[in-house]
Amino acid sequence: MKIASIVGARPQFIKCAPVSRELRKEHEEILVHTGQHYDHGMSEVFFEELAIPKPDYNLGIGSGTHGRQTGVMLGAIEDVLEREKPDVVLVYGDTNSTFAGALAAAKLHVPVAHVEAGLRSFDRRMPEELNRVLTDHASDLLFCPTKTAVANLAAEGLTRGVHLVGDVMVDAMNYNRSIAEERSRVLEEVGVGPGEYLVVTVHRPSNTDDREKMVAILGALGEAGKPVVFPVHPRTWKCLTGYGLLTKMPENIRVVEPLGYLDMIRLTAHAEKILTDSGGVQKEAYMLGVPCITLRENTEWVETVETGWNVLVGAEKGRITDAIRHFSPGVRQRNLFGDGNASVLIGKILTRHQNTRSG
Ligand code: UD1
Ligand code: UDP
| pLDDT for position 206 | 97
**List of residues 6+ apart from 93 with CB closer than 8 A:** 9, 11, 12, 15, 115, 116, 279
Residue 192, pLDDT > 80, answer yes
Q: Is residue 229 domain-resident?
A: yes
Model confidence pLDDT, tens digit, residues 254-286? 999 999 999 999 999 999 999 999 999 999 999
Nearest to 142 by CA among 115, 175, 181, 170: 115
Kindly state whether residue 332 falls inside one of the protein's structural domains.
no
- Give the pLDDT score at 304: 97
Residue-wise pLDDT tens digits, 220-258: 999 999 999 999 999 999 999 999 999 999 999 999 999
**What is the domain count for the chain?**
2
User: In angstroms, what is the span from residue 12 Cα to ligand 1's centroid?
Assistant: 12
Distance 247 CA to ligand 2 centre (A): 24
The reported pLDDT for the residue numbered 358 is: 83
Same domain, 162 and 30: yes
Taking only the tens place, the pLDDT of each residue in 106-137 is: 999 999 999 999 999 999 999 999 999 999 99
Q: pLDDT value at position 316?
A: 98
**pLDDT mean over 73-81:** 98
Q: What is the model's pLDDT at position 41?
A: 98
Query: Is any ligand 1 atom within 6 A of the Cβ of residue 328?
Result: no
Same domain flag for 11 and 147: yes
Q: How close is the Cα of 236 to the center of ligand 1, in Å?
A: 9
Look at residue 359 and tell me whether its pLDDT is greater than 80.
no
Say what the pLDDT of residue 330 is: 81
Residue 257 Cβ inside 6 Å of ligand 1? The answer reads no
Please indicate whether residue 33 is annotated as part of the active site.
no
Indicate whether 143 and 219 sit together in one domain.
Answer: no
Question: What is the ipTM score, two decimals?
Answer: 0.99
In a domain, 333, yes or no: no
Q: Atom 11 (ligand 1): residue with closest C-alpha?
A: 95
Same domain, 240 and 345: no
Q: CB within 8 A of 152, min separation 6: which ones?
A: 118, 119, 120
Residue nearest to atom 14 of ligand 2 (CA): 11
Average pLDDT value for the chain? 97
Asked if residue 163 belongs to a domain, the reply is: yes
The pLDDT of residue 327 is 98
User: Considering Cα of 138, then 144, then 149, then 152, what sign does the dihedral take?
Assistant: positive
| 280 within ligand 2 shell (Cβ under 6 A) | yes
H, E, C per residue of the chain: CEEEEEECCHHHHHHHHHHHHHHCCCCEEEEEECCCCCCHHHCHHHHHHCCCCCCCEECCCCCCCHHHHHHHHHHHHHHHHHHHCCCEEEEECCCHHHHHHHHHHHHCCCCEEEECCCCCCCCCCCHHHHHHHHHHHCCCEEEECCHHHHHHHHHCCCCCCEEECCCHHHHHHHHHHHHHHHHCCHHHHHCCCCCCCEEEECCCHHHHCCHHHHHHHHHHHHCCCCCEEEECCHHHHHHHHHHCCHHHCCCCEEEECCCCHHHHHHHHHCCCEEEECCHHHHHHHHHCCCCEEECCCCCCCHHHHHCCCEEECCCCHHHHHHHHHHCCCCCCCCCCCCCCCHHHHHHHHHHHHHHHHHC
Is residue 109 domain-shared with residue 217, that is, in the same domain? no
Instruction: For ligand 1, say whether the CB of 9 is within 6 Å of any of its atoms.
Output: yes
The CATH number assigned to the domain holding 143 equals: 3.40.50.2000
Catalytic site residue from 33, 114, 163, 203: 203
pLDDT at site 168 = 98
Pocket test for ligand 1, best of 92, 235, 264, 299 (most atoms within 8 A of CB): 235
Same domain assignment for residues 179 and 156 = no
Structural domain range at position 163: 2-167+338-358
Confidence check: pLDDT of 331 > 90 = no
Residue minimizing CA distance to atom 6 of ligand 2: 264
Q: Note every long-range contact of 134-138, with CB atoms under 8 Å and residues 24 or more positions apart, other chains counting.
A: 134/99, 134/102, 134/103, 135/91, 135/94, 135/98, 135/99, 135/102, 138/102, 138/103, 138/105, 138/106, 138/112
Q: Domain check: are 308 and 189 in the same one?
A: yes
Across the range 82-106, mean pLDDT stands at: 98
CA of 296 to the centre of ligand 2 (A): 16
CA distance 271 to 200: 10
pTM of model > 0.80: yes
Share of the chain above pLDDT 90, in %: 98
- pLDDT digits over 22-67, tens only? 999 999 999 999 999 999 999 999 999 999 999 999 999 999 999 9
Cα distance between residue 202 and residue 126, in whole Å = 14
Cβ 264 under 6 angstroms from ligand 2: yes
**Tens digits of residue pLDDT in 332-355:** 899 999 999 999 999 999 999 999
Atom 16, ligand 2: residue with shortest CA distance = 280
